[in-house]
């Protein structure tokens, strides 16, 4: 059974008191208020006070996928005496992520875990890049690079703050074993693991987002989807989840073109997880 309440900390009590002292006019206007010592904290959007759980896109939002995959490709190439641009290889691998899931969605491929999809893509791009001579163990180890990604600099501190108030879980297309390994490797403080494998659908299918509310036994508006990808947020909004956009300007590398602002209404927009925690009053 999931408990939907928590003891109010002294810090939270003081923050609520500060809002009360500042007056209802300031709060209703959406202004920030001063705390002793010159600190300031933005007012919490009253429409978000009912949120009980935060679920996260993982690849690109919680962790940097491009840098670690690039490094693992280059390390393998160096050991084997191969000439490979690791970043180009990583980008090509990731570029087939969406199209491969679409093939499953269209019935061209049977349902399979993301690890298997990643391996199917890898086998093809190894040929495309002219890489031969890898053993099965080497290929499998490279495919598991996605289990060893690193968190963005703000991720761990931000998640630990958010965990004080909210249930936290990934809502990823990654399979459960992948998400488990990644959580242990990166130290991600999830309360549980949700996602595509549980419902045998890939995001942005609505079944994935609805499953977050169903498995946590809460209403959809009591769940907030956190992502750096606007399509993810639009789909979550479509089934009634709250949404938070977090910008990740380096997801696709220095020359990449990530979303920098939300192109449709979201419930919160933050520069990183600590900023999101501020906005949610944690």
pLDDT tens digit sequence for 131-141: 988 999 999 99
Residue 19 has pLDDT above 50, yes or no: no
Radius of gyration (Cα) for the chain, nearest Å? 21
Residues 69-124 pLDDT 10s: 999 999 999 999 999 999 999 999 999 999 999 999 999 999 999 999 999 999 99
pLDDT at 37: 40
Which of 19-33, 121-135, 183-197, 258-272 shows the lowest per-residue confidence on average (mean pLDDT)? 19-33
Residue 159 has pLDDT above 90, yes or no: yes
CATH topology of domain 66-147: DNA polymerase; domain 1 (1.10.150)
pLDDT at 43: 64
State how far the Cα of 261 lies from the Cα of 236, in Å rounded to an integer: 17
Number of Cβ within 10 Å of residue 184's Cβ equals 10
Residue 20 zone, left/alpha/beta (φ > 0; ψ -120 to 50; rest): alpha
HSE-up (13 A, CA, CB side) for residue 242: 22
> What is the sign of the dihedral through the CA atoms of 46, 35, 245 and 58?
negative
**Counting beta carbons within 10 angstroms of the beta carbon of residue 80, is it exposed (0 to 12), middle (13 to 18) or buried (19 or more)?**
middle
Please state the rounded mean pLDDT for residues 5-24: 37
Closest CA to 268 of 260, 258, 276, 257: 276
Superfamily of domain 45-63+152-279: HAD superfamily/HAD-like (3.40.50.1000)
Please state the rounded mean pLDDT for residues 241-253: 96
Angle CA(195)–CA(163)–CA(190) in degrees, nearest 5? 35
In Å, what is the CA distance from 9 to each residue of 35, 36, 165, 234?
16, 17, 10, 34
pLDDT at 27: 34
Residue 5 has pLDDT above 80, yes or no: no
Residue 32 has pLDDT above 60, yes or no: no
Residue 131 zone, left/alpha/beta (φ > 0; ψ -120 to 50; rest): beta
pLDDT at 35: 41
- SS3 label, residue 263: coil
Residues 186-245 pLDDT 10s: 999 999 999 999 999 999 999 999 999 999 999 999 999 999 999 999 999 999 999 999
Question: At 13, is the pLDDT very low, low, confident or very high (cuts 50, 70, 90)?
Answer: very low
pLDDT at 258: 86
State how far the Cα of 6 lies from the Cα of 36, in Å rounded to an integer: 25
pLDDT at 203: 97
In this prediction the pTM is: 0.84
Domain boundary assignment for the chain: 1-43, 45-63+152-279, 66-147
Query: Which residues make Cβ contacts (< 8 Å) with residue 32, sequence separation at least 6?
Result: 40, 41, 42, 43
Residue 253 zone, left/alpha/beta (φ > 0; ψ -120 to 50; rest): left
Residues 35-79 pLDDT 10s: 444 444 556 788 899 999 999 999 999 999 999 999 999 999 999
């Amino acid at each position: 059974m999931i408990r939907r309440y928590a003891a109010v900390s002294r810090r939270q009590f003081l923050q609520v008191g500060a809002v009360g002292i500042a007056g209802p006019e300031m709060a209703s206007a959406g202004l920030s208020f001063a705390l002793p010592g010159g600190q300031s904290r933005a007012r919490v959007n009253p429409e978000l006070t009912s949120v009980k759980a935060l679920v996260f896109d993982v690849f690109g939002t919680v962790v940097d996928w491009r840098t670690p995959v690039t490094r693992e490709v280059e390390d393998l190439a160096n050991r084997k005496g191969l000439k490979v641009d690791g970043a180009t290889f990583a980008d090509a691998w990731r570029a087939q992520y969406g199209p491969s899931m679409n093939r499953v969605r269209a019935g061209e491929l049977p349902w399979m875990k993301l690890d298997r999809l990643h391996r199917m893509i890898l086998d093809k791009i190894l040929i495309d890049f002219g890489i031969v001579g890898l053993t099965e163990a080497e290929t499998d180890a490279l495919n598991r690079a996605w289990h060893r990604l690193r968190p963005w600099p703000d991720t761990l501190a931000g998640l630990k703050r958010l965990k004080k108030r909210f249930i936290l879980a990934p809502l990823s297309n990654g399979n459960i074993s992948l998400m488990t390994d990644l959580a242990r490797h990166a130290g991600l403080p999830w309360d549980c693991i949700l996602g595509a494998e549980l419902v045998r659908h890939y995001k942005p299918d609505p079944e994935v987002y609805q499953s977050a509310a169903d498995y946590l036994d809460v209403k959809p508006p009591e769940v907030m989807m956190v992502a750096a990808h606007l399509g993810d947020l639009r789909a979550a909004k479509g089934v009634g989840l709250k949404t938070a956009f977090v910008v990740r300007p380096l997801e696709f590398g220095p020359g990449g073109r990530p979303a920098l602002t939300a192109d449709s209404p979201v419930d919160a927009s933050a520069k990183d997880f600590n900023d999101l925690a501020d906005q949610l009053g944690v």
